[in-house]
């Protein structure tokens, strides 16, 4: 059986990346991640990302190219990240399901307490931000 997919959105505006802080479950509350979630049956990966960004942030996004390699999460589960942008650059994402949201620039990316899988993506995220 092929692995179930979690998609993550690397939403960039100017020189900043949008990160969000998990509120639950307790084991990972306080850790930072990219917006996203499970791809549901019948959905494409970009469709899942657009749906998750509406659910989690209340904004529409346009989905671009893949960022970094697939990151295995656990048996039969893999994280795939895509570059994304706010469809309306003036829109203000809201933390509808998370504790906090932050636009992060440059080296500050390295200072967040990311989920372990996301740490593997930091080089690719820096490259996406152009530094
Ligand atoms: N969204 C997201 N999930 C991530 C990232 N890194 C990472 O390890 N994960 C893991 C955490 C969770 O085990 C899983 C995604 O869970 P989720 O709770 O966001 O997904 P979902 O909204 O579809 O949740 P569910 O109700 O179906 O469980 O992927 C990331 O950057 N973004």
**Could you read off the pLDDT of 39-96 as tens digits, one per residue?**
999 999 999 999 999 999 999 999 999 999 999 999 899 999 999 999 999 999 999 9
The CA-atom distances, in angstroms, between 20 and each of 31, 40, 99 are 8, 21, 8
- Measured from CB, residues less than 6 Å from any atom of ligand 1 are 6, 8, 33-34, 36-38, 73, 79, 115, 117-118
CATH of domain 4-122: 3.90.79.10
The rounded distance, in Å, linking the Cα atoms of 93 and 57 is: 5
Whether the ipTM is more than 0.85: the answer is yes
Q: Kindly give, in sequence order, each residue whose CB lies less than 8 Å from that of residue 49, ignoring residues fewer than 6 positions away.
A: 7, 8, 9, 35, 36, 61, 63, 82, 84
Can you give the pLDDT at residue 2? 77
Phi-psi region of 68 (alpha: psi -120 to 50; beta: other; left: phi over 0): left
Residue nearest to atom 18 of ligand 1 (CA): 37
pTM, rounded to two decimals: 0.95
């Amino acid at each position: 059986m092929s692995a179930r997919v979690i998609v993550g959105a690397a939403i960039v505006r100017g020189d900043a990346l949008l990160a969000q802080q998990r509120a639950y479950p307790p084991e990972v509350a306080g850790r930072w991640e990219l917006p996203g979630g499970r791809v549901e049956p019948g959905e494409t990966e970009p469709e899942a990302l657009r749906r998750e960004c509406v659910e989690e942030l209340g904004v529409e996004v346009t989905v671009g190219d893949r960022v970094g390699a697939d990151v295995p999460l656990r048996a039969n589960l893999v994280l795939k990240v895509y570059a994304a942008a706010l469809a309306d650059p003036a829109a203000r994402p809201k933390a509808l399901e998370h504790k906090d949201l932050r636009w992060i620039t440059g080296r500050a990316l390295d200072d967040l307490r990311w989920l372990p899988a996301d740490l593997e993506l930091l080089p690719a995220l820096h490259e996406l931000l152009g530094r």
